[in-house]
Amino acid sequence: ITLESAPGQGTDITLSFPARQPTHHAEPGEERVVPAPAEVLNVLSGYTVLLVDDEPLVLKAGVRMLKTLGADVISADSGVEAAGLVEKHGTNISLVVLDLIMPGLDGIGTMRKIHSIQPGMPVVLVSGYAKDILKPEHMISDGDFVRFLAKPYRAEQISRVAESLLSASETRRDSQSSSA
């Protein structure tokens, strides 16, 4: 920043910025999506993820992010629709990413409904509000099946949480099939 000022003549302010490569600028109404780092690309390849959010732009961006991680994505804009998709697709869904605060059937109610249909379904609860609204008994009662992630989350964060849940789910399923 350069300032030049003279009494009675005014002030000139010059701002200089370093040169850099041109980047794509989002058009009005177009959300900016930060590309996922190479180390997390395709970590969800072979998995189907159900993404549930009542905000259309958040849902659209989330679908795109999960696809960059390699997931097949099914989306729903309500808890009722999500429960119906779990009934329809059953064990073909590997993971649910579920908004905690939604009108009607909220995230906790949706998670309970999903677990009544598919016990042990891995769920990532997400919210832009304080984690304090998620009571400890919600996490404890569903044990290893549930994690919380604050919005906005990055591809690295969702991939790390998803990998952890999916790994625990596969280990649990393997131990159940070997003991049967």
Give the pLDDT band of residue 20 (cuts 50, 70, 90): low
What pTM was estimated for this model as a whole?
0.73
At a CB cut-off of 8 Å and minimum separation 6, what does 122 contact? 94, 95, 96, 145, 146, 162, 165, 166, 168, 169
CB 65 within 8 A of CB 97: no
CA–CA distance, 90 with 61 (Å, rounded to integer): 25
- Lowest mean pLDDT across 89-93, 141-145, 176-180: 176-180
